[in-house]
Structure 1
Amino acid sequence: MKIYHLSHTDLDGYACQFITHFYFKNVKFYNSNYGKEINDNFNAILSDIEKDENFEKAIILITDLNLSLSQCEEFDKICQEKKIKIFLLDHHQSGEECAKKYPWYLLDSKRSATKITYDFFSKICHTDLELSHFVDVVNAVDIWLNADENFELGKVFLGLVANAKEINRVMFKEIQVYYIFFLFERAIKFIGKENSHILLENAIHFIKKDFFMRNCDDTLANLISSFVVEKLGELKDEFGIEYGGHKGILTVNIGNTSIIGNDFLIKNPDYDFFIDVSSRKTLSFRANGKIDVSLMAKKLVGGGGHKNASGGLFSAYKDSSNYPYIKAQILDLIKSKELKKESKDVQAKELK
């Protein structure tokens, strides 16, 4: 049996996955906001299930996300056809119509999705005192029990997840989820202490440094940069693209483009350029003397800048949580410009 767990991108959503991870080890995690992103992730799950040799024992678990009726109808039909078990644990009242129609849609608006998930699995498996305390903290802030003794600590937990943007969830999905789990594991140790909310808030910087630390201490920003460059190096074949006979890498909302881009190119001399695309439709180009990215930016999106650092606006770009879809857009852009250039070259020869 393998569980494919799709959940929301906030404290309650990740806490549901933390509980699943506690009880089961054969789990793959996906995270989504509402709307089309849910469908994109569902399709990604189906693709992963089909690649699994034991796909007949697959279970799709959805938590802290309420679906529309059309999504329920589509998911239910597909799961029945493929004989995949699906169930949803949620607390959003807006899903009431779906819960009445589909028996796998379990809804309780009086508890957070985290508490629903814990109560569900603890009855099947076993209870755990430390985990139940964690659930109480999340529950207090998620359904806003401001008189609860756990409320103030819950607010710090809320910020802990909201500000955990150090690892890109589009490019490093698995790493990002386990980073959140690491933060939870450390934060749980503060539950029950006097002034726990203050103690945890003061400790967050050092907890994060512990995750990114390798051989020696440094600023958090430098540790994060080194970590990201290391992971990009490990996955560069997956993120690689080509332009004009030059090999490069494509990132998405990577942050600190100048530092990360330059560090990557220095540590990976077989790559000539670095492009980062942002949700704002901007493209940031970096090079290390092997290609003039100002010309590249000009040809691709009418941008420009310096030889080793340029930018531009890709107005037709459609943001997504799906990296292959994003990469396909950039590859199509490059291909369209190359075909346009070839067409002009042919026309010039004909005129001669």
Structure 2
Amino acid sequence: MRPIQEIYNQLTSPRKVVITMHQKPDPDAMGSSLALYHFLRQFGHTVTVVSPTNWAGFLNWMPGCDTVLDFESPKGRTEVPAILQQAEWLFCLDFNTLPRTKTLAAPLKALNCVKVLIDHHQQPEVESFDYGVSDTSKSSTSEMVYDFIVGSGHGDKINTDMAECLYAGVIGDTGSFRFPAATAAVHTMVAHLKEVGLQHTQVHENIYDNYLENRLRFIGHVLSNRMEIMYEYNTALIAISKGDLLRFEIKTGDTEGLVNFPLSIQGIKMVGLVIDRDEERKWSFRSKGSVDVNTFARKYFEGGGHFNASGGHTNDSLDQTVKKFKQAVKENALQLQ
């Protein structure tokens, strides 16, 4: 994978471009992709954003979100294959291994176009990309897209639509500037976005104050009945059954942020959240300080991500994977003290 700086001088030559992200995109994945979409279109590129799956309804406000194709939808299945075949550039944002794109992985791997990576997760699959940047010190892929735009000498192209998308991605991945990755550079970036015309309050409301009543009742149910605290290991576990999802009519995005709630408990250093999906059990892990959940997820649950935030999955039943988690916690007792 060659340095992304090598494509700076090619940005002004119009091409057919596809931008994609990981499955079930979060604010950073969608925000960084749409910001890049608005940027490249200013140079005359023909740009299509493709999501491997559907996304949370609270992202629909983002400028340009109505143009994004869901690969799993009937329209996406019909239109995306031809669009991919015509692509000259493929930008891969907020993921660094093709399996993170679910059923889109095989079509992406088969493409012969130029593939560009912009990502901040650990252990990138560098052999899958022609150009790129992978930087785990960055707060978000949105920050990296901002750096890409400014570094290419086109910071003047940032408009309010791009600012809203970039800001959404940054607050999503930094916990509204709570996490250590919110460096001075992040705040300098936000200051620039404010100068462009960003109305940050509206972005916060669009992301965090945009749910239905059933989600709040679901959270209350989960915290009361599905949260288990293992004080001897400074760990919390939340296991959500398929029945819980059906009872409260939970949709994509409604469980966003739920894994962070137990971290507010004094002494808790790690949280595991598992959700019983149709095809598999999906894990989310969060931690504080020196507890490495990236390694934990990779070792036990075929996952990975960041040092203090990662995910995983398994085909085991809900009961089986919960037992495996508890055993894994015991094996890592010293690290959790």
* TM band (smaller chain): 0.3 to 0.5
TM-score (norm 1): 0.35
- Larger proportion of helix: 1
Larger Rg: 1
TM-score (norm 2): 0.36
Structure number with higher relative contact order (C-alpha < 8 Å, ≥ 6 residues apart): 2
